[in-house]
Amino acid sequence: MSLSVGITVQAAVPAPVGSQGVALHVINVDQGAAALFETPCGTLLIDAGGRTDADTNHLLDYLQSYFAARQSLGGRFAGVYLTHPHIDHDLSMLKVDAVYDFGVFVDDGRIAGDGSKAIAKKLASTYTGDRVRHVNEVTFSRLTAAQRKKGFTDKGIDPLVCEGIKPKVTALSGGRDPQAGWSKDANGNPNNHSLVLRIDYGVTSFLFLGDLQVEGQRDLVARYGDTPLLDVDVLFLPHHGAENGATPQLLNATTPKAVVISAGDPLVEEDWTAWDHGHPRVAVLDRLQAAVNTSRPSVGKLGFTAQNTKPVSYTVTKAIYSTGWDGDIVVHADGAGALTVSTEK
């Protein structure tokens, strides 16, 4: 019999976790990604993307409500992480930086170029010394083979200082050197160089993979598949539910209790939307239904069989959540293994 993840409907930003537990806030920024990770001793931000100004405004409104209820934080993120320099992941980052203080800034070490990379480049030049980390192959080349199997962390990657149960932030991957077995397109695609983070709190674990695609996922599993580092409770699904964002190898390695997808409204037929990309794909939802080992009440949702096509009805019975279906999502963990999911819709 499958275990059940508790679920509630909650329109407002939830109350602070206080001295116990952590909460992953997946903020609805349409066809983009923005996640806030709340702990008893500080707050982390992982990406701040979106598609339109309205998405930026929603993110800023959410953050304003969040910090208003948590005055002791002083409008400060202990750490901010940019998984990769694509606009759907960094559209709002400079506006967030203009309002809130960043303790440390961490990226995937690939900030050269123009376009949205200019955002990452500006932030990387603003935060210097111990306040910035560029996670790439150079980072891991300094480690022994045994150390590399544990990922990488230091006070720049993990700035949290807590009493009691301490959350732990570990970087598993970032910008890669050219890979001999990859195509030119795969090597050049920023998605495949996404910063990969694991966060542990007590016995509960979370995994963030940016937009890591097939080649990057295979490499990640090759590096860590013989360790427990990929086996997690909550998986932030890479690449918005795209066909190339959830390989069987990744799902077999992660065995998640719950999966969250950041994707847009499936009914909006415009450029750069969930409809335009076909996110989430029905084939991916099928894989998730088979891989996720906990349930949610049976609900009818929408998925896509291809790009630029009408969405089709899809019945979800496992603990799979999407901002395109559920609005803002908050996953609360008590550190002892219990998960509670609150959704806006």
The answer to whether the beta carbons of residues 32 and 335 sit under 8 Å apart is no
Tell me the C-alpha distance between 26 and 32, whole Å: 11
Residues 6+ positions from 86 with CB-CB distance below 8 Å: 49, 116, 190, 191, 211
The predicted structure's pLDDT at residue 113: 47
The predicted structure's pLDDT at residue 3: 44
Tell me the C-alpha distance between 191 and 214, whole Å: 10
Residues 6+ positions from 240 with CB-CB distance below 8 Å: 31, 33, 211, 261, 262, 263, 264, 274, 277, 279, 280
The predicted structure's pLDDT at residue 9: 57
The predicted structure's pLDDT at residue 279: 98
CA distances in angstroms from 119 to 88, 194, 195, listed in the order given: 12, 16, 16
The count of structural domains within the chain is: 1
> How many residues does this entry show for the chain?
345
* Strand pairing report for 3-4 and 6-9: unpaired
Tell me the C-alpha distance between 88 and 188, whole Å: 18
Tokens of 197: 């983070």
The answer to whether the beta carbons of residues 313 and 8 sit under 8 Å apart is no
List the pLDDT tens digit at each of the 345 positions of the chain.
234 466 555 656 777 887 789 999 999 999 999 999 999 999 999 999 999 999 999 999 999 999 999 999 999 999 999 999 999 999 999 999 999 999 999 999 987 544 467 787 888 888 989 999 999 998 999 999 999 999 999 999 999 999 889 999 999 999 999 999 999 999 999 999 999 999 999 999 999 999 999 999 999 999 999 999 999 999 999 999 999 999 999 999 999 999 999 999 999 999 999 999 999 999 999 999 999 989 998 899 999 999 999 999 999 999 999 999 999 999 999 999 999 999 998
Amino acid at 32: G
Tell me the C-alpha distance between 104 and 155, whole Å: 9
Other beta carbons within 10 angstroms of residue 39's beta carbon come to 20
Selection from 345, 340, 334 nearest residue 39 by Cα: 334
Q: What is the CATH number of the domain that holds 68?
A: 3.60.15.10
Tokens of 220: 């990640």
The predicted structure's pLDDT at residue 36: 98
The answer to whether the beta carbons of residues 333 and 21 sit under 8 Å apart is yes
Tell me the C-alpha distance between 93 and 96, whole Å: 5
Range of the domain at 111: 3-343
